Amino acid sequence: MRLGGGQGFYGDGHRPVDDLLAAGVDYLICEALAELTLAILQKDRQRDEALGYTRDLPLYLQQAMPYVLDGRTRFITNAGGINPVAAGRAVVGAARSLGVSGVKVATVVGDDVRGRASELSLPDGALFANAYLGARPIVEALDAGAQVVITGRVADASLFLAPLIHAFGWAWDDYDSLAAGVVVGHLLECSGQVTGGNYSGRWWENPDPMRIAFPIATVDNDGSAVISKPPNTGGMVTFDTVREQLLYEVHDPSRYFSPDVVADFTSLSLEDLGEDRVRVSGTCAADPPTTDTYKGLVCTPAGYAGEARLVYPWPDAEAKARAGLAFLRKRAEENGVPVEEWREEYFGVNAFGGSTVDRDFEPPEVIGRLAWRTADKESAGRVAGEVGVLGLSGPPTISGMGRGGGARPSQLLAVEPFYVDKKLVDDQVRVEVEEV
């Protein structure tokens, strides 16, 4: 069984998907969601209730559809975001407009738990509240013959686990196999990261950085897998790139929680086979292997943010930047702007975790960044309104950077995790299958 990791986030490059499809994958799996992504999609939905899913979904579907139609590939994605119903309708509508027929599209719904807010003690005014579903509803969709599966907030690795359960017939209590599938999913969920992208080692040895490679996992029915990439592409698959992705976003490697199983990453073995192939085998489940809860994410309004970025060159770059930001803060105080939180950073001096320059060395340029939070949009805008005064009346040689010199305030959304009983969520999950 060959799985292709076709997306790692909303906005990822889609050109490498062509190489995956040409190389031959049984499933193209696009993982589109993160906590930040859900907040972005919420802002879309506030503007238009028909939105709330990733708007690059049609690009991936257009690439995959010829392979779906001839039976070579099935397509799975959580690009439905916080509005999978609308996403499913959009996919069906797009297929019909292209004259496509004979394709079964499944939509997984039920991760939205706002209707259970009182039972879950969720905050008032929640804009969205979603549970991270597992592989089970996707397996149900595949068992029903779906060739395209659109979901909402399904956990990243579960997208990849589902087709393995469907293909190999793994039982839901075959925890070691499920754990092995979760490892495969975790390795592929970040697209080009396991194939040498964002690599903290000898990144400059990438043989062709202009032709990004996305990963392929060739999986056996015992859960062992070989991680590789399409031929004649850039990137690299090595022991180091795979182990770096294995530990990415992992708190306790011996207990990696997913909705379907708790995996023990310390049990597995990695073997570099050469020629951009690494074998993963021996994965076991942790003890105990499951939990009674899903992770959830709830979003609430958190006021408005404004920002100013002032660029000053040598000489006295840091001193000028500090004086400029001090002016803005003082003017906000004098004008009675109710700022609830300030944030100052000086890029070129101390913006990344402490002092970044020798204090006896004067940096050639400094970007002074000032951000602030207020309860309302009008107040946030009043601070930025003073930036222009610095052009002729502040420290010399100021320049701006992008829209940061006085950009319009933006709404802030707070996202907080919570736990929800699996039974409460599973009772409302359903799979809708429609044939185009």
Q: Quick one: average pLDDT of 71-96?
A: 96
- Residue 409 and residue 391: Cα distance in Å, rounded? 21
pLDDT at 402: 63
- Encoded amino acid at 44, one letter: D
- Residue 158 and residue 183: Cα distance in Å, rounded? 10
pLDDT at 404: 47
- Residue 258 and residue 264: Cα distance in Å, rounded? 11
Which of 143 and 348 is assigned the larger pLDDT?
Answer: 143
DSSP state, residue 212: P
pLDDT at 97: 85
Q: How many CB atoms lie within 10 A of CB 342?
A: 14
pLDDT at 363: 87
pTM reported for the whole predicted model: 0.95
Residue 225 backbone zone (phi > 0: left; psi -120 to 50: alpha; other: beta)? beta
Which residues lie closer than 8 Å to 118 by C-beta, 6 or more apart? none
Give the relative orientation of helices 175-188 and 239-246 as an angle to the nearest 10 degrees.
110
Q: pLDDT (tens digit, 9 = 90+) per residue, 359-403?
A: 677 889 999 999 999 999 999 999 998 999 999 999 999 998 665
Q: pLDDT (tens digit, 9 = 90+) per residue, 247-277?
A: 999 999 999 999 999 999 999 999 999 999 9
Phi/psi for 76 (5° steps) reads -130, 135
Residue 332: pLDDT above 80? yes
Q: pLDDT (tens digit, 9 = 90+) per residue, 170-196?
A: 999 999 999 999 999 999 999 999 999
Q: Cβ distance 164 to 178 under 8 Å?
A: no
- Residue 33 and residue 383: Cα distance in Å, rounded? 33
Of 17, 129, 134, 119, which Cα lies nearest the Cα of 68? 17
Pick the CATH number of 301-415 from 3.40.50, 3.30.70, 2.40.50, 3.30.420: 3.30.70
The residue extents of the domains of the chain are 2-291, 301-415
Of 134, 146, 244, which Cα lies nearest the Cα of 182? 134
